[in-house]
Amino acid sequence: MNKITQCDCHLHTDNSFDSDTPAERLAERARELGIEYIAITDHCDILEWSDANIARSNAQAAWLNEQYDDLTVLRGIELGEPLQAPEQTAIALGLCEYDFILCSLHNIEGEEDFYFLHPDREKAQDLIGRYFDELLEIVRWNEFDSLAHFTYPLRYITGRDGVRVDMERYQPVITEILATLAANGKALEINTSGLRSPDGFLLPTVEYVRQFGELGGRFITLGSDAHVPEHMAVGMKEGIAAAKAAGFHAATVFIRRQPVEFPFE
C-alpha cells in the first residue's frame, strides 16, 4: 500500500471535551492506514483543563504504545493559551511525562474562542493583530515543541465567514514569530483540518511555511487535528506537498520531547 503519511501528530480522543473517540479507535485507524507514528494531543486549554482527563489520555497513549509492533503512539497534549494562567500551565506540564507538547491559541486573552466570534472586517483586523501579539509572547516563552495551526483565526474569519482581511499589515509580527520559533529550534505545524471545510485551506498556508524555512526553521510537524477516526491523515497529501514546495524535506515527530525527522518519500 502506498501510505499517505508516516505520522499524524495532532489527534483528539474522548479525553477532549469535543471528541467521542476512544483512543483505541485511533490506533486501529492508524494501522489500517499504515501510519507508523501518531501523537495523541488532547485539549489542555489552560483556563478550563482537567488533570484527570490529561492523566488518562497520557496513560492510554502509553498503554496503546505497548500493544503494537508496527505503531508508535506518542503521549502529547494540545496546550492552549499557556500564558493566560502560567501557574496552571506549570502544573499541567509537570503532571505527566510527555513526548510532545503542541502549543495553540484558540482565544486571545479576554475573548472567546474564534470559533464563537463573527467579527466584521474592522473588528477582525483588530482581533487578528491581538492574536499575533499574544502568539509572539508564547513563542518567546518557548516551553513547547511545535506551534499548532498558525493563523487559526482565519479558519473562521475567512474560511467559514468569508471575511477577507489584509494580512500584509501583520507581516512584521509574523516575521518575528516565525524567526523566534526557528531560532529556538521549535517546529511549525502544518494543520490540515482547514481542508475539511468547503473553502478551506492549510493552517498555515504554504507562503508562511516557506517564510519559516527562509527564516531558518528546520522542523515541520503534520497534524490532521482529527476528532473522529475518519479524519485521521485527511489532507496530508496536500500538507506534505506544501512542506515540499516550501523547501522542507522531512516531517518531524517528537519522542520524549526530542525531534526525530522522517524524510518525505
Using CB under 5 A as the criterion, which residues of the chain lie in contact with Zn ion when the complex forms? 78, 104, 225
Q: Whose Cβ is closer to Zn ion: residue 83's or residue 215's? A: 83
Cell match 500564558: residue? 83
Least separation in angstroms between residue 61's CB and Zn ion is 15
Q: Quote the CA–CA distance of 258 and 265 in Å, as a whole number.
A: 22
Least separation in angstroms between residue 45's CB and Zn ion is 9
Q: Whose Cβ is closer to Zn ion: residue 14's or residue 225's? A: 225
Q: Whose Cβ is closer to Zn ion: residue 102's or residue 243's? A: 102
In three-state secondary structure terms, 126 is helix
Least separation in angstroms between residue 21's CB and Zn ion is 12
Least separation in angstroms between residue 191's CB and Zn ion is 8
Residues 117/161, Cβ–Cβ less than 8 Å = no
Q: Whose Cβ is closer to Zn ion: residue 13's or residue 211's? A: 13
Q: Quote the CA–CA distance of 68 and 27 in Å, as a whole number.
A: 9
Q: Whose Cβ is closer to Zn ion: residue 67's or residue 160's? A: 160
Q: Whose Cβ is closer to Zn ion: residue 47's or residue 183's? A: 47
Q: Whose Cβ is closer to Zn ion: residue 56's or residue 244's? A: 56
Q: Quote the CA–CA distance of 165 and 158 in Å, as a whole number.
A: 8
Least separation in angstroms between residue 40's CB and Zn ion is 11
Q: Quote the CA–CA distance of 233 and 95 in Å, as a whole number.
A: 29
Q: Whose Cβ is closer to Zn ion: residue 8's or residue 36's? A: 8
Q: Across-strand partners of 40?
A: 11, 75
Least separation in angstroms between residue 69's CB and Zn ion is 28
What is the DSSP secondary-structure string of 81-114? SGGGSHHHHHHHHHHS--SEEEEE-SS-TTS--G
Cell match 497534549: residue? 77
Residues 180/139, Cβ–Cβ less than 8 Å = yes
Least separation in angstroms between residue 148's CB and Zn ion is 5
Least separation in angstroms between residue 168's CB and Zn ion is 25
E strand residue ranges, the chain = 7-11, 37-45, 72-80, 100-104, 146-147, 187-191, 219-223, 250-255, 258-263
- C-alpha distances in Å from residue 259, one per residue of 86, 212, 217, 245, 254: 25, 17, 13, 22, 5
Torsion of Cα atoms, 204 then 229 then 40 then 9, to 10° = -30
